[in-house]
Structure 1
């Protein structure tokens, strides 16, 4: 299953001006960073796309930064990359770049209904957009799933622990289009996938952990053993270069 521990690593470009501006938009930890601040930070990234692109170019040009970012990033088992560009402590936040490469058919995305231990705001940087479906547990109707809890095993925080069978019903669906910013809190259970097969990238501003555990649902007969794959420095440079090329083409006259 596509889960990874929350690990704060040293950031070779932590002093770069762009992540400092994001930290300023989030404010300090009093009051704690919430959805409103995360949304403000994501909108600031949208307003300064050229500054964000310059930061990406600086990251891929720095060998130490490439190695460090690749170390804390990974390929989701459904074929898209979750790249942790920056980790901050005061305030506590992460900036992630999620990239769905071009394909013959749209990616399945995060196709297992799941929630998050942290709140986030996401900006659709490139591509047509994202399709999301929200779910809720129900005692009547719906569809049968196996529920797992992530973060409940002290000996192995990344383990998925079986937690019975439940039924899920769809609450609604949403298209978030290119250029849009959307927010998500810890109560939401959803699936997420790109609308089409074109290159799609989102920038996620992730807040501090709010809950010790989260839930992941698998259909009966579906294996819960869906490990992430290593993302190399070469992968990081290639994916970011493709995103930058798309951004440059979008702003060209």
Structure 2
């Protein structure tokens, strides 16, 4: 683990000072700690809102965060609010639309553990899967992160059948946690603005899996997220969080 220098902590926003100060001293940002930070977001919306307002009031912070962020191919924004050696805090936003977003419709796992908290909207519908030799649905399996020359590429890794193992609804006030073994999909419950804070730990694996339906293209590039997009989306989330203060 790489500790944050004391000088950096004294100038950091109150929310970051608080959560960084509770990080395990011996070991890294493990799943129990990630869950504790996600619960803090739920329990102290005023402190979290103050951090969002500080970011929006700092042009350099907006510029840096926007550069780390992007539009997911399925139409939602992945914005990195904080990035350090052993943990990240991201804000995922599904803008208000006439129809519910598909969310992340390809079953996938992660190279890192995370915990998330809903801060705007009704919540998210998750479906968790397991590979099976009988029944289920056929997919093409890909490995993400397996190509050193292009870490974002999806490399074909044979066929697989997936069966549904669980289908949890994560609503506002809940915290959802996920380790590297879980394969899932994510979509908003409703069509209105939905946002979740994702507290991400360090990489635990070099690659992860993504499953696509047969015939589905594996060319799913991310989209550019501008500073204007960032301000509008974070501003909308801040407005949604404000009544909870």
- TM-score category (smaller protein): over 0.9
Q: Does 1:125 align with 2:119?
A: yes
Structure 1 residue aligned with 2:41: 45
Helix, strand or coil: the match of 1:245? helix
Q: After TM superposition, give the deviation of residue 25 of structure 1 in Å.
A: 2.5
What does 1:68-83 correspond to in 2, within 5 Å? 68-83=64-79
Q: Does 1:25 align with 2:22?
A: yes
Structure 2 residue aligned with 1:66: 62
Q: After TM superposition, give the deviation of residue 15 of structure 1 in Å.
A: 2.1
Q: After TM superposition, give the deviation of residue 182 of structure 1 in Å.
A: 1.3
Structure 2 residue aligned with 1:242: 236
Q: After TM superposition, give the deviation of residue 248 of structure 1 in Å.
A: 2.2
* Unmatched segments (≥5 aa) in structure 2: 1-7
Measured at CA, do residues 145 and 62 of structure 1 come closer, stay the same or move farther in structure 2, by a change above 3 Å? same
Helix, strand or coil: the match of 1:164? strand
* Unmatched segments (≥5 aa) in structure 1: 1-10
Q: After TM superposition, give the deviation of residue 16 of structure 1 in Å.
A: 2.0
What does 1:195-206 correspond to in 2, within 5 Å? 195-206=189-200
Structure 2 residue aligned with 1:6: none
Question: CA deviation digits over 1:82-139, x for unaligned, max 9?
Answer: 00000122xx100000011111111100000000000000001111011000111111
**Aligned match for 1:191, one of 154, 166, 185:** 185
Structure 1 residue aligned with 2:4: none
| Preserved contact between residue 13 and residue 54 of structure 2 (Cα < 8 Å) | no
TM-score by length of structure 2 reads 0.93
**Aligned match for 1:84, one of 80, 84, 99:** 80
| Preserved contact between residue 119 and residue 185 of structure 1 (Cα < 8 Å) | yes
Structure 1 residue aligned with 2:138: 144
Runs of 4+ in 1 over 3 A off after TM superposition: none
Q: Does 1:212 align with 2:206?
A: yes
Q: After TM superposition, give the deviation of residue 250 of structure 1 in Å.
A: 4.7
CA RMSD of aligned residues (A): 1.5
What does 1:88-103 correspond to in 2, within 5 Å? 88-89=84-85, 92-103=86-97
| Preserved contact between residue 117 and residue 198 of structure 2 (Cα < 8 Å) | yes
Structure 1 residue aligned with 2:215: 221
Question: CA deviation digits over 1:186-237, x for unaligned, max 9?
Answer: 0000000110101111001100000010000000011111111010000010
